[in-house]
Amino acid sequence: MDFELSEELRAIRDTARDFAAERMLPQAARWDAECIFPVEILREAATLGFGGITVRDDVGGSGLSRLGAAVIFEELAAACTSTAAYISIHNMAAWMIDRYGSEAQRRRFLPDLTAMRSFASYCLTEPGAGSDAAALQTRAERQGDHYRVNGTKAFISGGGVSDVYVVMVRTGGSGPGGISTLVVEKGTAGLSFGKQEKKLGWNSQPTAQVILEDARVPVANRLGAEGDGFKIAMAGLDGGRINIGACSIGAARACLDATREHMGQRSQFGRKLAEFQALQFKFADMATELEAARLMIQRAAAKLDAGAEDATLHCAMAKRLATDAGFAICNDALQLHGGYGYLKDFPIERYLRDARVHQILEGTNEIMRVIIARRMLAP
């Protein structure tokens, strides 16, 4: 067991760290305040290989491991958590096409996606099917060489701006076995979008409903066989949960670094904050939780890379722990900044707002507990 990153991963981490510090951090507050989706910066990130991190290289991907992806997302999120999280969702959708698509589908969609000339969204949630995703009702009726699709997907990250929507639809009966996955392209007749949602955080990426009304989607756009859709959606989420957990770690690390600096500068009662033992203990706990979260994310990534049977269990555990710890560390950092932590002049509140949603999406942390308990308590 080796707990150190390889030389290759250290080089990738340094590349991501430099890019994040130079190209993302200086603009992150403005993207947040003005709800700017930073297309040009995303395309720059793609030139470094971040548009298809785990996608195979014959279609422009970087062919990296899940561990490599976790390392990259921690670095990007330490600069702009919201933008990093969108890149993670784009990567999840691109990976699903790479893993489950035919050669023709891979060659058609992935060169543009890996270069981020086009952007991808993942569409599972519906107004009536959130945590109970297998109850989704978007219906796809086969009519010759295409499907006629009707339904609404809710909360879709990238909704309205993405070019490619990986959509879970019902082609068969109720339950997970009746679900299939279709790639729906922007411009498809019958595809439209709801209003842009106004959110607590994640402001550098749009969120909207994706509405399908008699949308004609070619059968050639189906990933895998009819009925495979739920399995494909869940496989995407295993990796997605590692990435979103890594984004929480990045946000928490940025807050911890800012707190260290603040505690060394700010004096009250004639002493630096760093000299109060109560605050030292709080800081020590934050640093310890961060390290524990990173270890769990990296272990889950290694499990997924190894194709371990219990990888899904470890992804759920790591996502639950890293996103809870990540938010708690941001919140403690805000407390240790006193009133300054609450001001937009300091970045803590942005990280806090951005990290909050990680406890809700890609499966809420209650659903992570359901997955863990189901797997560990099964008779």
- The verdict on 375 binding ligand FAD (CB under 6 A) reads no
Report the residue number whose CB is nearest to ligand FAD.
Answer: 130
CA–CA dist 185, 162 (Å, integer): 9
Tokens matching residue 258: 């800012």
CA–CA dist 351, 82 (Å, integer): 9
Q: Whole-number minimum distance, CB 169 to ligand FAD, in Å?
A: 12
Using CB under 6 A, pick the residue from 62, 125, 138, 259 that binds ligand FAD.
Answer: 125
Using CB under 6 A, pick the residue from 95, 147, 202, 351 that binds ligand FAD.
Answer: 202
Does residue 362 carry a catalytic annotation?
Answer: yes
Q: Whole-number minimum distance, CB 154 to ligand FAD, in Å?
A: 7
170 or 294: CB nearest ligand FAD: 170
12 or 361: CB nearest ligand FAD: 361
Buried b (16+ CB within 10 A) or exposed e, 204-225: bbbbbbbbbeebbbeeebbbbe
Q: Whole-number minimum distance, CB 115 to ligand FAD, in Å?
A: 21
Tokens matching residue 81: 């958590």
CA–CA dist 53, 318 (Å, integer): 20
Q: Whole-number minimum distance, CB 124 to ligand FAD, in Å?
A: 4
- The verdict on 122 binding ligand FAD (CB under 6 A) reads yes
> What type of residue is 183?
V
Residue 215 phi, psi dihedral angles, 5° rounding: -75, 135
132 or 285: CB nearest ligand FAD: 132
116 with 52: CB under 8 angstroms? no
38 or 336: CB nearest ligand FAD: 38
Hey, CA dihedral for 300, 304, 305, 306, is it positive or negative? Answer: positive
Binding-residue total with ligand FAD (CB under 6 A) = 21
User: Could you tell me which residues are beta bridge partners of residue 271?
Assistant: 268
CA–CA dist 245, 320 (Å, integer): 8
- Burial level of 139, CB count in 10 A (0-12/13-18/19+)? middle
- Active-site entry in 22, 289, 362, 366: 362
Q: Whole-number minimum distance, CB 259 to ligand FAD, in Å?
A: 26
Using CB under 6 A, pick the residue from 17, 148, 199, 266 that binds ligand FAD.
Answer: 199
> What type of residue is 214?
D
- The verdict on 96 binding ligand FAD (CB under 6 A) reads no
- The verdict on 29 binding ligand FAD (CB under 6 A) reads no
Q: Whole-number minimum distance, CB 43 to ligand FAD, in Å?
A: 20
- Burial level of 290, CB count in 10 A (0-12/13-18/19+)? buried
- The verdict on 124 binding ligand FAD (CB under 6 A) reads yes
Q: Determine which helix (DSSP H) or strand (DSSP E) holds 25, and give its type and residue range.
A: helix 25-34
Q: For ligand FAD, which stretch binds (CB under 6 A), given 37-45, 70-78, 306-314, 356-364?
A: 356-364
Q: For ligand FAD, which stretch binds (CB under 6 A), given 108-116, 235-243, 252-260, 354-362?
A: 354-362
**Interaction mask 139-178, ligand FAD, x per CB under 6 A:** ----------------xxx---------------------
Using CB under 6 A, pick the residue from 28, 301, 367, 371 that binds ligand FAD.
Answer: 367
- The verdict on 364 binding ligand FAD (CB under 6 A) reads yes
Using CB under 6 A, pick the residue from 52, 60, 68, 130 that binds ligand FAD.
Answer: 130
Residue 168 phi, psi dihedral angles, 5° rounding: -90, 125
DSSP state of 121: E
Tokens matching residue 313: 């269990």
Buried b (16+ CB within 10 A) or exposed e, 14-27: eebbebbeebbeeb
Residues that bind ligand FAD (CB under 6 A): 89, 121-125, 130-131, 155-157, 199, 202, 207, 357, 360-361, 364, 366-367, 370
Residues annotated as part of the active site: 362
